[in-house]
Amino acid sequence: MSARPYVIDEMISAKAIAARIEALCREIHDEFDGTDKLVVVGLLRGSFVFIADLVRELDLPIEVDFLEASSYGDGMESSREVRILKDLRGAIEGRDVLVVEDIVDTGHTLNHVTRLLASRNPARLKSIALLDKPSRREVDFKADWTGFEIPDEFVVGYGIDFAQRNRNLPFIGKVRFIDGPA
C-alpha cells in the first residue's frame, strides 16, 4: 500500500474499452474461426477482468486456463527476472493458444511466458494485451493484438492494481500523486 496520497484520473472509459474489445474479438474470431481446440490463457492477476469480457465476446468453442508470473510485487518498478508462480492446469501441445495480458511494459513477462508456452508445442500461439507502453520496452516483444497504446504512466483499474488496490475500477485511470511528481 502506498503511503503517498494519490488520485486517479480517468484515461480510458469503460465504454471505450468495451468498444475496443468488440473490434478485437472480430479479428480474433477471424484468426481462430473453425478451431475446436482454443485455450485462452489469462495471466494472473491483472488480466482477470479483461479475459472475462474477452471470452464472453468470443463466439468460439474455448477453454480457459490461467498462469501466474511474478511481476511488480507491491511497487511501481518491473522486476526483470520472471518466475512462474502458478502454471497451467492443462497441456497445450497441439492446441491453439491465446495468451491474455493486461499490460506490456518492459516486455519481459510476455516475452518469457510466450517462449515458455511455445516450447510446449502448441499448434498456434497468439497473444493479446489490453494496454501497451512501447516507450518502456526493454526486450523486443509485440503482442499480436493490442487494445490501446498508452504513454509511460502508471495505470490502474479494469483488473490492474497499484499495491493490490483499484482492480475493481471499471475504467483505466492513471495514478497521480498529489504531493508532487511520482
From 108, 143, 172, 173, residue interacting with ligand IMP (rule: CB under 6 A): 108
Which residues lie closer than 8 Å to 16 by C-beta, 6 or more apart? none
From 67, 103, 113, 169, residue interacting with ligand IMP (rule: CB under 6 A): 103
166 binds ligand IMP (CB under 6 A): no
Backbone angles phi, psi at 38, to 5 degrees: -85, 130
Strand residues in 45-83 grouped as ranges (E)? 62-69
Cell numbers at 124, concatenated? 498456434
Torsion sign, CA atoms 114, 115, 121, 126: positive
Binding piece for ligand IMP, criterion CB under 6 A, among 6-14, 71-79, 87-95, 164-172: 71-79
21 binds ligand IMP (CB under 6 A): no
From 38, 54, 71, 173, residue interacting with ligand IMP (rule: CB under 6 A): 71
127 binds ligand IMP (CB under 6 A): no
**Binding pattern to ligand IMP, positions 24-63, x when CB under 6 A?**
----------------------x-----------------
Round to whole Å and give the CA distance between 98 and 142. Answer: 14
Nearer to ligand IMP, 53 or 101 (CB): 101
Query: In angstroms, what CA-CA distances link 157 with 17, 151, 179?
Result: 12, 16, 22
By the 8 A CB rule, do 67 and 86 touch? yes
132 binds ligand IMP (CB under 6 A): no
105 is catalytic: yes
**Residue with the three cell numbers 491474455:** 100
In the set 87, 105, 161, 179, the catalytic residue is 105
Which residues lie closer than 8 Å to 5 by C-beta, 6 or more apart? 177, 178, 179
From 28, 66, 97, 107, residue interacting with ligand IMP (rule: CB under 6 A): 107
78 binds ligand IMP (CB under 6 A): yes
Query: Footprint of ligand IMP on this chain (CB under 6 A)?
Result: 46, 71-72, 78, 101-109, 154-155, 160
